[in-house]
Amino acid sequence: MRWIRLIVVILPAVLISLAAGSARALDRTQIVLVVNRNVPESEQLAKFYAKARNIPPNHIVSVSLPASEEIPFLQYEREVAPPIRSFLLRNHLDEQTTCLLTFYGMPLRIGTRILTPDDRKEVDQLKKEMIALRPKVAPVVGQLEDIAHSLDPSFNPSRQDDINALSRRADQALRVVGSKLSAVADTKQRSELFAQVVQVLQALGGASNIAERIGVNELKNPNLPDAEREKWNRMIQQVKQGQEEARQLQWMRYDPKAREKNREMATGLFGLLGYARLLEAQLDYFQTTETAAALDSELSLLWWGYYPRSRWVRNPLNFKFQELNAPKTLMVMRLDGPQSGTARDIIVSSLKAERDGLSGKVVIDSRGIARLKNGHVDGYGEYDQTLRNLSEIVRTKTALKQVLDTHAEVLAANTVQDVAIYCGWYSLQHYVPACSFVPGAVGYHIASLELVTLHQAKGSGWVRGLLEDGIAATMGAVAEPYLVAFPPADEFFPLLFTGKLTLAEVYWKTQLTSSWMISMIGDPLYNPYKNHPAMKVEDLDESLQKVIIGPDAPTPTAAIQDPAPTGR
Where exactly are the structural domains of the chain? 117-284, 352-549
Look up residue 26 and give its DSSP letter. P
Amino acid of residue 432: V
User: What is the torsional sign of CA 264, 270, 275, 278?
Assistant: negative
pLDDT value of residue 552:
56
Task: Classify 438 as helix, strand or coil.
Answer: strand
Interstrand relation of 99-103 and 70-71 (parallel, antiparallel or unpaired): unpaired
pLDDT value of residue 550:
82
Give the whole-angstrom CA distance, residue 177 versus residue 184: 11
- pLDDT of 83-131, one tens digit each? 999 999 999 999 999 999 999 999 999 999 999 999 999 999 999 999 9
Closest CA to 370 of 378, 360, 358, 361: 378
Single pTM value for the model? 0.90
Interstrand relation of 293-294 and 109-110 (parallel, antiparallel or unpaired): antiparallel
pLDDT value of residue 11:
36
Write the DSSP string, 4-25: ------S-GGG-----TT--PP
**DSSP strands (E only) in 19-172:** 31-36, 60-63, 70-71, 99-103, 109-110
Give the whole-angstrom CA distance, residue 492 versus residue 497: 9
| 465-468-472-477 Cα dihedral, nearest 10 degrees | 30
The CA-CA-CA angle for residues 122, 127, 129, to 5°, reads: 95
Amino acid of residue 120: R
Give the whole-angstrom CA distance, residue 312 versus residue 114: 18
Please report how many Cα atoms fall inside a 13 Å half-sphere around the Cα of residue 362, on the Cβ side: 23
Which residues of the chain register pLDDT less than 50? 1-23, 553-568
Number of H helices and E strands in the chain, helices first, is 16, 17
Q: Where are the alpha helices (DSSP H) in 252-339?
A: 256-285, 295-299
Closest CA to 333 of 319, 321, 323, 347: 347
Look up residue 540 and give its DSSP letter. S
Give the whole-angstrom CA distance, residue 337 versus residue 341: 8
Task: Classify 423 as helix, strand or coil.
Answer: strand
Give the whole-angstrom CA distance, residue 5 versus residue 20: 26
Angle between the N-to-C axes of helices 187-210 and 256-285, in degrees from 0 to 180, rounded to the nearest 10: 110
Task: Classify 370 as helix, strand or coil.
Answer: coil
Please report how many Cα atoms fall inside a 13 Å half-sphere around the Cα of residue 162, on the Cβ side: 3
Look up residue 211 and give its DSSP letter. I
The CA-CA-CA angle for residues 79, 84, 90, to 5°, reads: 125
22, 146, 369, 538 from 426: Cα distances, Å: 34, 60, 12, 32
pLDDT value of residue 221:
86
Closest CA to 81 of 251, 243, 202: 251
Q: Which residues pair with 62 in a beta bridge?
A: 35
Interstrand relation of 99-103 and 293-294 (parallel, antiparallel or unpaired): unpaired
Q: Are 208 and 145 in contact (CB under 8 A)?
A: no
Q: Where are the alpha helices (DSSP H) in 211-255?
A: 216-218, 226-251
The CA-CA-CA angle for residues 351, 356, 358, to 5°, reads: 85
- Report the Cα 63 to chain-centroid distance in Å: 22
Look up residue 278 and give its DSSP letter. H
